[in-house]
Amino acid sequence: MSSFRPASKYCGNQGVSPESDGQGRDGQPVERGLSRRRLLQSAAAVGAVAAAGSIGMPSALAVPTGFRSVAEWESMFLNIWDDRHYATYLPRSISGDSAQYYYLSYAIDGNAAMFQATDNLQYLDRALEYIVNVINDSRRSRKFPNSRHQDGYYGWVCKVRGKYYGKEVSLNETYMWRFVTRILRLMHANDAVWNDSYYRPIYERILEFSEVHIFDKWYSRGPQSHIYRGVAHIAAHFGHIALNLANLTADATRRARCMEVFDNINHSLPNFPGSSLRAQLIPHPTVPGGIFWDPWWGQFSRPGGDVSHAGGVVSFIVEAEELGEEWTRDDIDGLIATLNGAIWPASRLQPALYVDGTGRGIWGLNDGWIKLGRYSVTVQKLLEESQNGRGLQQWGNAALNARYLFGKSCPA
């Protein structure tokens, strides 16, 4: 077995990684120079705005009155970071239960965003701790008696009693792994981390596992069953992973397959003829310039998807726009129009339940909806005024939004 060192002194699980399946790195250097998304800030609240790359804004802007700074969001984050939330998420990371990884994803995303917002390595270390623990708990599929796959890939089973008990569940893995691949992208783009002899082996091992035991595994088990899923947000999760890996892998064949998956989800699902994410997103029925969608391919009736699950589509689009792939600022503006005009206009006390603006939501914004605050001070203000979302994910991403909108150059 090859030793897999924990990410930092904070790591609780001192285990080792699964042995290599002989499908690892090809020894070639990973290409640098990921695409950088262009940032546009809101002229309404901040004044005249210039477009700037995500690394190296020309100057810092003062935080407008009534908006929190990165430091203020970080202070809120730290109030729960080492107490209630660590006690919750560390056990999930060492549970060996894929059902727990679905919820662990919120902490990984929140810590990744706070690392990106502050350059503080303790947040990267915390996210890597969780990821390392999860990988260390993986086992070969053939070791799981109830798995129908019984192959040599590593993974986990659901330990929650019910329909999926003892089975490998692709959704549980891909829901979290989109944020794992984002962590890799941030590490790759951050020179201080990329050139650190401590972090590089961790990066390489997580990337290898992601390539082989996430992407290759589910593709080989049948892309029509496990990748091109029947609803938009689950397909978007794998598109998210595929795009990030396409920008990181040194394997040209895998890169081409990743981009094939990405393009098929966007334009031509092989098992749903005539359907794609592009075709599914249509003009909003009540909001000029807004975007509306139902999660089921080929269905377009109101009320559309629920806001919570729809956040997975938004997160995918934000990731793609950052990398300059397929989705553009015009698409982002359409999502912002939907959020501001239908889901959570100023007249509502809490967000709607559905994308058409009907129904009453049960909590605040989640997932991709939070990330729209990178582009819009109106969305950022919603985050200021609502604290009933998922703490680490909301506050970490709100801090990153503030860095994009109001201040220092963004590291990645």
| Residue 332 belongs to some domain of the structure | yes
Number of domains in the chain: 1
Entry pTM: 0.84
- pLDDT at 3 (0 to 100): 37
Q: Does residue 214 form part of some domain?
A: yes
pLDDT digits (tens, 9 = 90+) for 369-388: 999 999 999 999 988 887 65
Instruction: Please check whether residue 45 lies inside any domain of the structure.
Output: no
H or E stretch covering 53:
strand 52-53
Q: What mean pLDDT, rounded, does the chain reach? A: 85
SS3 content of the chain, % helix, strand, coil (to 5): 50, 5, 45
**Residue 112 per-residue DSSP state:** H
Question: Within a domain: residue 356?
Answer: yes
User: What residues pair up with 139 in beta bridges, in sequence order?
Assistant: 155
- Tell me what percent of the residues of the chain surpass a pLDDT of 90: 74
323 lies in a domain? yes
pLDDT, tens digit, 9 for 90 and up, residues 83-135: 778 999 999 999 999 999 999 999 999 999 999 999 999 999 999 999 999 99
Identity at 117, one-letter amino acid code: A
Q: What is the CATH number of the domain that holds 60?
A: 1.50.10
Please check whether residue 32 lies inside any domain of the structure: no
Question: Is residue 39 in some structural domain?
Answer: no
Res. 346 pLDDT band, cuts 50 70 90: confident
Angle at 85 between CA 384 and CA 310, to 5 degrees: 55
Domain that holds residue 127: 52-406
Q: Write the DSSP symbol of residue 342.
A: I
Provide CB contacts within 8 A for 297, sequence distance 6+: 230, 231, 232, 269, 272, 275, 280
Look at residue 2 and tell me if it is in a domain.
no
Round to whole Å and give the CA distance between 271 and 76.
45
Output the pLDDT for position 238: 98
